[in-house]
Amino acid sequence: MSITKHVLVSGRVQGVGYRAWTQHEASLRDLVGWVRNCDDGRVEATLQGSPDAVEAMLDAMRQGPAMARVDEIITQDTEALATRNFEVTR
């Protein structure tokens, strides 16, 4: 069984390697999905995998890489993805 979450991350999350870090951490957890910068300074992602792996990834995203400062994470359930990898877009 897998779940899919749409995620919006606010704070100092652009220009600090957050997308590349997210891709690496997601691959360690066998997640699929994508991550990208938003025009408003947030980072947006979709995570799909086992419930435990997705929750562990969300916990990690609350910390982020060393230079990041995460102020808020908003999540919501979303539809399953048709991909088999995790991509950085934009």
User: Considering its fold, how many domains does the chain have in total?
Assistant: 1
pLDDT tens track for 3-13? 999 999 999 99
Range of the structural domain that residue 11 is part of: 3-80
- CATH number of domain containing 35: 3.30.70.100
Residue 90 lies in a domain: no
> pLDDT at residue 83 above 90?
no
| DSSP at 39 | T
**Annotated catalytic residue, options 19, 42, 85, 90:** 19
Q: How many CB atoms lie within 10 A of CB 15?
A: 10
Q: Known catalytic residue: 29?
A: no
**Annotated catalytic residue, options 12, 29, 36, 37:** 37
pLDDT tens track for 30-59? 999 999 999 999 999 999 999 999 999 999
Q: Known catalytic residue: 37?
A: yes
pLDDT at 84: 86
